[in-house]
Structure 1
Amino acid sequence: MLMGSEQGWSRPARRRRPMRTGLLLGGLGVGFCLIGVAGLAVWNVQVVMQANGPVRDTADGFFREVAAGDTDQAYERLCKEARGRWSAVGFGSWVRTPPQVSGYEITDVAISTLRGRPRATVTVRVTRDGGASEERKLPVIQENGKWRVCGDPF
């Protein structure tokens, strides 16, 4: 440079901090994942809490109809898979086979999700003609927006 000439102003070189940027982006990614997991957990809790009443109502209706001998209505509460195993007539004959169900008491309702689909198990104390009783696990699933008995209830 020549003496007496003015020097142009230049900005000093900035040090880049790739480590800080990487940590910030990584932290944001982890934060979004945690928010997603928390959202999924809240959704599962809502599904389980909202399903308790309808699941109990389904099991209660099913056993009330079975105990009253209304096998056609009870058959309508079965899931598609269970209706595929039994015809309405076959189900009715099976339910009427002694000793028949004369009473019941729902003792527990457990609801969970499997692959995002709600499932339930209702524990029922079934009383048969003659007074004998036994505890049974009644599987209940959600099918087309309705809770249905699915599996062998007896």
Structure 2
Amino acid sequence: SHSSFGWEQAGAALAQKKAAMMDLGGFVRSAFPEADLPQLAYAPFPEIVPGVARYEDFSVNSIHVPANAKNKQGARDFVAYFYKPENLGAFLAAEGAIPPRNDCPPSKDPLVNAAVEELKKVVGTSQYYDRDTDPDMAQEGMAGLQEFMVKPERREQILKRLEKTRKRIFG
């Protein structure tokens, strides 16, 4: 019943060696006892269609200045300070997040460093599907993915439903 798990439950199954792999950020380490952290490793997303360029899911944590900020110059000064490589690297280290800059100091976490090196080899990145698209499309897409994981023989029906939803939302 893998499609009924949230990431926390799936992470626990991974830590208990009841699952083998997850497509998830470094924060999955919070599901692991300290002694088991060395079993975590980074694996690039596998090639599905030979010859198609490599891309990766890569979520970026960022800070922005709101358009209606009362102290825009103070906010800009903070953002300039925050995004200095050494400051950004220190902020991201606590979560084990991958820096969105390639000039941050190396992490103390070998998992982060492995991901940084692999990301240098890809053609492009995307954030998580459910964050990057219209919420209605995301909901239908996630439901379709869950259905496909359980019933792959329904692939064509799922794709037709997703295409219908895409046309309704995006025209």
> Which is strand-richer, 1 or 2?
1
Quick check: which one's helix share is greater? 2
Q: Which has the higher contact order (CA 8 A, sep 6+)?
A: 2
> How does the TM-score come out when normalised to structure 1?
0.21
TM-score normalised to structure 2 length: 0.20
Q: Which has the larger radius of gyration?
A: 1
